[in-house]
Amino acid sequence: MLNMETDKIIEDSNTNSQYPMTILYDPARKKEPSPQYVTERETCLKYFEKWSEQDQVEFVEHLLSRMCHYQHGHINSYLKPMLQRDFISLLPKKGLDHVAESILSYLDADSLCAAELVCKEWYRVISEGMLWKKLIERKVRTDSLWRGLAERRGWIQYLFKPKPGESHPNHSFYRTLFPKIIQDIDSIENNWRMGRHVLQRINCRSENSKGVYCLQYDDQKIVSGLRDNTIKIWDRNTLQCTKVLTGHTGSVLCLQYDDKVIISGSSDSTVRVWDVVSGEMVNTLIHHCEAVLHLRFNNGMMVTCSKDRSIAVWDMTSQTEITLRRVLVGHRAAVNVVDFDEKYIVSASGDRTIKVWNTSTCEFVRTLNGHKRGIACLQYRDRLVVSGSSDNTIRLWDIECGACLRVLEGHEELVRCIRFDSKRIVSGAYDGKIKVWDLLAALDPRAPASTLCLRTLVEHTGRVFRLQFDEFQIVSSSHDDTILIWDFLNCNPPEGTPPQQQAMTALTNRSPTRTYTYISNF
């Protein structure tokens, strides 16, 4: 027979053997207190109440030290609810609603959902504190995908401080909006993986030499450098050419712009500076003795590279004050591409090597070896360098140690352009194809090579010369004299399409779904 009150020897009637067993205290079966306890309890309590708090604590500690384990368990169960404090519910009663809101504002979406279900008071704090609105605002401030989506979908007007004379919706609006945003983000990611997009095409209609060598875009315009020696600027909404900049006497091979200037490099060996608003040419830099193949500028510094095998580092004080700081020599063939940040300048050449230089001192740091043929393109950010080569491969490098982290194979000809962000790599090649790769998987040495290429996009009829992309689109240019805009935001499957059917389409349909907008410019 089991006795739940104390340790007892239980005798097994079948074996006549004895087993010591510790039985937990069961308060439901507690005995009535003894008469002696009832009589003496009040006397003890009167003594206890006369003592100081410190004395009371010391006395209880002595009592606890004389108790057995199961008694400690019972006291622990008794103390637990006494020690718990619903501080979120208590703070508003002290006039500290803002503190409760501040605490809950640190929760992520899943935790905020759970917090709403704790009790009515927690729900009230979340609702009146507009915490779903604040969560969305925090995402928009810190995540470029959320920021871009807010601007493109229009719900940014309901965030942050309302315009004078206007008010924002109530809590339930934002509570409903959040899962819709998540659904939208998932849909965009699925569009990337399935290759589903709306395709817009700009035909540049070059008069003589055809081909678009370089481009850069924002929400208002696309700036492109053409083989016919011109820079053409296109309106993003109408896709019409709004401005043509003339001055180069050779093909425009590279360009970059900011809110003040467009800077371009050409096969005429010059670097030219243009006012981004007026289109007026304000400066010409003559240094390289052969074609300027690539350039980058940022924070008052510019780096150019050339077919003459050199790299030039420039200090930019203003549009008209650009002075040569240093010339870097070390490559044994044309330097096709450069990139830099505050720590390193990175260059890649037809000599099959990538060289790393110190940005501050311009001193050589190391060489990255691995490509079997010349390197045509490269991007560098943080510790990662991604390069593309005429050996048809893409390589990922750790710039600090010089190690090659992964080789991506799939293109059938020279990899001419490459860009990456935090999720994916997008490459374009002379085979006319654009490939989208899973960057996180590529950085995982356990990931099989067959899983790395997410999608191959085939629309260009000539070599792909240049591309850029963001969370919502790819903009690419080609020898076929077109600029293509691949929009992954505004293309969704028909309503009611089961998820299983969408997944099956992704697996069985190699050619991605697309919708065309064709623009012809004369």
The three-state secondary structure class of 507 is helix
283 and 320 Cβ atoms separated by less than 8 Å: yes
344 and 313 Cβ atoms separated by less than 8 Å: no
Instruction: Look at the block and give the residue holding tokens 């239980």.
Output: 10
* Range with lowest mean pLDDT among 171-175, 442-446, 501-505: 501-505
Mean pLDDT computed over every residue of the chain = 89
Q: Which one has a higher pLDDT value, 5 or 499?
A: 499
Give the tens place of pLDDT for each residue, 461-486: 999 999 999 999 999 999 999 999 99
Q: What is the pLDDT of residue 26?
A: 55
Give the tens place of pLDDT for each residue, 424-436: 999 999 999 999 9
pLDDT at 124 over 50: yes
Query: Exposure of 123 by Cβ count < 10 A (0-12 exposed, 13-18 middle, 19+ buried)?
Result: middle
Q: What is the pLDDT of residue 522?
A: 29
Half-sphere exposure of residue 429: CA atoms within 13 angstroms, side-chain side:
26
What residues contact residue 27 under an 8 Å CB cut-off, 6+ apart? 74
Q: Report the alpha-carbon distance of residue 320 to residue 339 in Å, rounded.
A: 23
Q: What is the pLDDT of residue 493?
A: 54
Q: Which one has a higher pLDDT value, 12 or 291?
A: 291
347 and 328 Cβ atoms separated by less than 8 Å: yes
Q: What is the pLDDT of residue 500?
A: 47
Give the tens place of pLDDT for each residue, 177-196: 999 999 999 999 999 999 99
What number is the average pLDDT over the span 125-147?
A: 95
Residues 313, 319, 320, CA angle at the centre, nearest 5°?
A: 90
Evaluated on CA atoms 220, 232, 433, 297, the torsion sign reads negative
Q: Report the alpha-carbon distance of residue 466 to residue 280 in Å, rounded.
A: 25
Q: Are strands 197-203 and 514-520 parallel, antiparallel or unpaired?
A: parallel
pLDDT at 490 over 50: yes
Give the tens place of pLDDT for each residue, 40-98: 888 898 889 999 999 999 999 999 999 999 889 888 888 888 887 788 888 888 888 89
Percent pLDDT > 70 in the chain is 88
122 and 116 Cβ atoms separated by less than 8 Å: yes
Residue type at 159 in one-letter notation: L
Residue type at 249 in one-letter notation: T
Q: Which one has a higher pLDDT value, 418 or 32?
A: 418
Q: Which one has a higher pLDDT value, 496 or 239?
A: 239
Whole-structure pTM value: 0.80
The model's confidence at residue 15, banded by pLDDT at 50, 70 and 90, is very low
Give the tens place of pLDDT for each residue, 297-351: 999 999 999 999 999 999 999 999 999 999 999 999 999 999 999 999 999 999 9
Q: What is the pLDDT of residue 29?
A: 53
User: Quick one: tokens of 321?
Assistant: 């004050």
Q: What is the pLDDT of residue 117?
A: 93
Residues 467, 468, 469, CA angle at the centre, nearest 5°?
A: 130
pLDDT at 513 over 90: no
Q: What is the pLDDT of residue 34?
A: 85
Q: Report the alpha-carbon distance of residue 278 to residue 240 in Å, rounded.
A: 17
Q: Report the alpha-carbon distance of residue 94 to residue 433 in Å, rounded.
A: 65
Evaluated on CA atoms 316, 317, 318, 321, the torsion sign reads negative
Percent pLDDT > 90 in the chain is 77
Long-range contacts of 332-336 (CB under 8 A, 24+ apart): 333/309, 333/374, 334/290, 334/293, 334/306, 334/307, 334/308, 334/309, 335/293, 335/294, 335/305, 335/306, 335/307, 335/309, 335/310, 335/311, 336/293, 336/294, 336/305, 336/374, 336/375, 336/376, 336/377
